[in-house]
Amino acid sequence: MKNVIIVGGGIVGLSCAYYLLKEDYNITIIDKSDLSGGASYVNAGYLTPSHIIPLASPGMMAKGIKWMFNSSSPFYMKPRLDLDFIKWAWSFNKSSSKANVEKAIPLIKDINLLSKELYTDLYDSGELGDFQLEKKGLLMLYKTEKEGKHEKEVAKRAQDIGLEVKELLLSELNTLQPNLSNEILGAVHYECDAHTTPTEIMKKLKTYLKKQNVVFKINEEVQDFKLSGNQIKEIITDKGTYSADEIVLASGSWSQKLSQKIGLNISVQPGKGYRINVHRETPVKLPAVLMEAKCAVTPMRGFTRFAGTMELSGINNKIRKERVAAIAQAASNYYNNLTITQEEKLEAQYGLRPVSPDGLPYIGRTSKYNNLSIATGHAMMGWSLGPATGKLISEVLTNKKPSMNIDGFNPERKF
């Protein structure tokens, strides 16, 4: 029986563990945190086949520059002299092309549909017990003709590639989701999407893995690697040294720093997102994206979550109150009789999402080491793509034909 070490215990790392268990691996997960917070816990809980347009798309860099000095803007890049960030920004700008979008669309659609199917299988299997998995779709709510026109173009493209989507009349929208602001002009309803409660699934997945004898090394930070030729022989942490037949690097926003220790450059920048949980009755019936504000709203089990923003400011623990306030204000601007309290804003948390320069994840082996696989760079789709990534990594390690073509996710692709 082979041993595998997974560096990172977010949804991607845990999903890798889940599917590698099915292949009879002995598994150890190492994580620098206590696995109680971060991007896998504070996200919007969406399963999003509809999100076919990568973050690196035409006009995004211009928006980033425009909003650079507005720290409450939806897409904020903090100006800083950091070589990794400058190189990433250059590659992101090169990737923000129509050609990149066209190449990415089928890949994003296929991996999202695969992951949604795997979440469904996980739910139906009962292995984790009961958890929220609701297939009510996702509303894209818009207040301006400009955003409406843009989203209708995306919806048309989504329809063309076989996704279930519908443009709603105001009367249809108000039936599905009452108590909306009169300023809302309409919505696109992506019926292909679903939603979950991430904290619920993460807790149940950890419990299941522990019962299956997966070893968790928490509050333990990987500091270095011992190499021998084209193999990683040992992982050195602040608490010990470990060896395994296979290594999976699923360390999210910390992946670039770790990969540089072994002569690789897995280019990612941490994209900070925030969430506010409201544990009381709200008007929210269906998951929705508030388009002008770039905020996500999700009716989860026991609470409603308001989440959003993309803040590229490096790895740090700073919660920017102005960004939390912008999410709270957006909630009031789109829903009638909804005010998020000061206490609820003070309880806001953040997560760091690993963003690659072209908006696609890194999934697969490297050519430099024959026992290393990469599983990171999922940007805002980490939650949605967790199970699919875990399944694909298990197929890579066992030399099985992958469930989909993963050439576009090559960790060593050039930008």
Question: How long, in residues, is the chain?
Answer: 415
Q: Binning pLDDT at 50, 70 and 90, where does residue 69 land? A: low
pLDDT at 385 over 70: yes
Average pLDDT on 332-356 reads 97
Q: Which region holds residue 41: left if phi is over 0, alpha if psi is between -120 and 50, else beta?
A: alpha
Q: What DSSP state is assigned to residue 294? A: T
Q: Tell me the two tokens of residue 277.
A: 């949980």
Q: What is the model's pLDDT at position 67?
A: 67
Q: What is the model's pLDDT at position 80?
A: 83
> 């890949």: which residue's tokens?
107
> 């072994």: which residue's tokens?
262
CB neighbour list of residue 366: distance below 8 Å, 6 or more residues apart: 264, 372, 373, 374, 411, 412
Least trusted range by pLDDT, from 64-78, 166-180, 210-224, 336-350: 64-78
Q: Binning pLDDT at 50, 70 and 90, where does residue 81 land? A: confident
Least trusted range by pLDDT, from 39-43, 82-86, 110-114, 400-404: 82-86
CB neighbour list of residue 257: distance below 8 Å, 6 or more residues apart: none
Q: Domains of the chain, with CATH numbers?
A: 3-409 (3.50.50.60)
Average pLDDT on 344-358 reads 97
pTM: 0.96
Strands 3-7, 246-249: pairing kind: parallel
* Cα angle: 134, vertex 119, 292; to 5 degrees: 55
Q: What burial letters (b/e) apply to 239-256, b meaning 16+ CB within 10 Å? A: eeebebebbbbbbbbbbb
Closest CA to 11 of 218, 256, 199: 199
Q: Tell me the two tokens of residue 327.
A: 């999410």
Q: What is the model's pLDDT at position 73?
A: 76
Q: What amino acid occupies position 216?
A: F
Q: What is the model's pLDDT at position 68?
A: 65
Q: How far is CA 62 from CA 19, 66, 301, in A?
A: 40, 6, 38
Q: What are phi and psi of 334, to 5 degrees?
A: -105, -20
Q: Tell me the two tokens of residue 255.
A: 């992946």
pLDDT at 200 over 70: yes
Average pLDDT on 156-161 reads 96
E-only strand ranges, 208-356:
215-217, 222-228, 231-237, 241-242, 246-249, 269-278, 288-290, 295-300, 303-312, 349-355
Least trusted range by pLDDT, from 72-86, 247-261, 354-368, 371-385: 72-86
Q: What are phi and psi of 105, to 5 degrees?
A: -55, -50
Burial of residue 189 (CB within 10 Å: 0-12, 13-18, 19+) is buried
State the chain's mean pLDDT as an integer: 95
Instruction: Report the C-alpha gap between 24 and 340 in whole angstroms.
Output: 48
Instruction: Report the C-alpha gap between 11 and 197 in whole angstroms.
Output: 12
CB neighbour list of residue 329: distance below 8 Å, 6 or more residues apart: 293
CB neighbour list of residue 160: distance below 8 Å, 6 or more residues apart: none
Instruction: Report the C-alpha gap between 323 and 318 in whole angstroms.
Output: 11
- Of residues 218 and 310, which shows the higher confidence score? 218
CB neighbour list of residue 178: distance below 8 Å, 6 or more residues apart: 283, 285
Instruction: Report the C-alpha gap between 350 and 379 in whole angstroms.
Output: 14
Q: What are phi and psi of 44, to 5 degrees?
A: -80, -5
pLDDT at 63 over 80: no
The DSSP code sequence of 66-117 is: HTTT-TTSSEEE-----HHHHHHHHHHHHH-SHHHHHHHHHHHHHHHHHHHH
Distant-in-sequence contacts of 147-154, Cβ < 8 A, 24+ apart = 147/291, 147/292, 148/185, 148/186, 151/188, 151/291, 152/188, 154/52, 154/53, 154/188
Least trusted range by pLDDT, from 66-80, 115-129, 238-252, 374-388: 66-80
